[in-house]
Structure 1
Amino acid sequence: MLEVIGAGFGRTGTLSLKAALERLGFGPCHHMLGMLHKPDEVPLWRTAAARNGTVDWDRVYRGYRSTVDWPGARFWRELADHYPDAKVILGVRDPERWYESALNTIYRAAMDDSPAASPVLADMRRMSREMLWDGLFDGRFSDRGHALRVFNDHIVAVREYLPADRLLVFEPANGWEPLCAFLDKPVPDEPFPRRNDQEEFASLLDEHTA
């Protein structure tokens, strides 16, 4: 059963947040890159996309205590309703910097037409195109203005939908203190994890497809 739901788009520090949540005891934490090692999850998410989030979420998240990144963030509202006791973390970032980062990493990887390194990577490309790039962004992610409107409208929607005591708006630069206060956990005596900046993305993807 999910205890923490990450509602932030990909490229808002989701891998750092995943590492932090697992350090605080909310693991395993679901993240899209982890699906490269769990190919059986991909059809479940394609079904979720086809049915607009009307799926057995307990089956989708069996074995997980938290989720961050896409594809889960695509269905933040459905997850928040299905798991009413779960707390929600909205990852945010400067919109212009988010767009440049997403354009040059996850969007480029998803739209790459070269042969995929593995069948599961090919399936994930199809899933992400259907759900995100052709779905959430209406096939217009390369239109900067449109993509930024989707990004900003998403933040407004999450903040308006959830009560303040259930929602934390968060950036990894905020560090441990607000996250631990929100989740009622002691602050670890170690630096906050920093993962997956733009320069690391290619090697990180290689690591998960090796």
Structure 2
Amino acid sequence: MVEIIGAGFGRTGTASLKRALELLEYDPCHHMSEVLKQPDTTVGWTAALNGDPSVLPGLLSEYRATLDFPGCLLWREMMDLYPSAKVLLSVRDPKEWYDSARATILNPIRNENIDEHLAALLQPFSDAMAGRGFRRDLDEADMIAVFNKHNADVRAGVEKSRLLVYEVSQGWEPLCAFLGVDVPDVEFPHSNDSASFRDNVTRVLTGRAKELGG
């Protein structure tokens, strides 16, 4: 059962936050990295993004938390499905977010080793996310406007007692206070910076293509 709904866009420290939540025993936590490892799930996610939330319980049956894309684009639907779940809006400076996103998630990776079946799954999924506002063809000002509007909508649409607006630079204390758990005696995780993102995605996609191709 999902207990934490991550409403923040990717590139707001969600990889570090995923690890942090799992250290706090909200494990496993769904993240875009899970979709890359299990690309067949894009069929269900595409359906949800296109207006069929009935597929979400099946997609998330094994997860205690969600973060990043595509779940962040479905925060309203998840709030209805999981009325007791808390909402975690990860944020960062909009210009810094855009610069990081442009170097990573807004700059699609083209790899000749990606299997045709995999590419056929990912394209409708990407189109469905674009239909929800996450488009790669927008200029800087318009993309930052999308980012800011999304965050404003979450702030306005979630009751304050259920919402934490959070930057990973804040560390454990506000996160643990919000969740009502003790601060662990370990350093807050830090992972998946822009420099390593493309290598990580390429490795996942290429490895999956080899599996599909036999």
The unaligned stretches of length 5 or more in structure 2 are 208-214
- Residues 43 and 125 of structure 2 are in contact (CA less than 8 Å); yes or no, is this contact kept in structure 1? no
> Residue type matched to 2:187 in 1?
P
Shift of 1:55: 2.2
**Equivalent runs, 1:16-95 vs 2, <5 Å:** 16-50=16-50, 52-95=51-94
Let me know the Cα RMSD of the aligned residues.
1.9
Distance 1:176 1:126, change over 3 A: same
Percent sequence identity over aligned pairs: 43
Equivalent-residue separation in structure 1 for 2:21 and 2:117 (angstroms)? 26
Alignment partner, residue 212 of structure 2: none
Equivalent-residue separation in structure 2 for 1:145 and 1:202 (angstroms)? 24
Equivalent-residue separation in structure 1 for 2:191 and 2:203 (angstroms)? 14
Alignment partner, residue 163 of structure 1: 159
Shift of 1:119: 5.2
Shift of 1:128: 4.2
Alignment partner, residue 182 of structure 1: 178
Shift of 1:2: 0.3
The unaligned stretches of length 5 or more in structure 1 are none
- Residues 44 and 55 of structure 2 are in contact (CA less than 8 Å); yes or no, is this contact kept in structure 1? no
Task: Give the secondary-structure state (helix, strand or coil) at the position aligned to 1:155.
Answer: helix
Equivalent-residue separation in structure 2 for 1:106 and 1:89 (angstroms)? 21
Task: Give the secondary-structure state (helix, strand or coil) at the position aligned to 1:189.
Answer: coil
Shift of 1:113: 4.8
Task: Give the secondary-structure state (helix, strand or coil) at the position aligned to 1:107.
Answer: coil
Equivalent-residue separation in structure 2 for 1:154 and 1:199 (angstroms)? 26
- How many equivalent pairs are there? 206
Q: Residues 29-51 of structure 1, C-alpha deviation per residue, up to 9 Å, x if partnerless? A: 0011122222331110111122x
- Residues 140 and 146 of structure 1 are in contact (CA less than 8 Å); yes or no, is this contact kept in structure 2? no
Alignment partner, residue 114 of structure 2: 117
- Residues 3 and 86 of structure 1 are in contact (CA less than 8 Å); yes or no, is this contact kept in structure 2? yes
Task: Give the secondary-structure state (helix, strand or coil) at the position aligned to 1:177.
Answer: helix
TM-score by length of 2: 0.88
Residue among 193, 200, 205 paired with 1:197: 193
- Residues 12 and 171 of structure 1 are in contact (CA less than 8 Å); yes or no, is this contact kept in structure 2? yes
Distance 1:34 1:154, change over 3 A: same
Equivalent-residue separation in structure 1 for 2:63 and 2:113 (angstroms)? 28
Distance 1:78 1:93, change over 3 A: same
Q: Residues 90-118 of structure 1, C-alpha deviation per residue, up to 9 Å, x if partnerless? A: 01011011111111111212xx4553534
Equivalent-residue separation in structure 2 for 1:202 and 1:113 (angstroms)? 11
Shift of 1:205: 1.5
- Residues 49 and 130 of structure 1 are in contact (CA less than 8 Å); yes or no, is this contact kept in structure 2? no
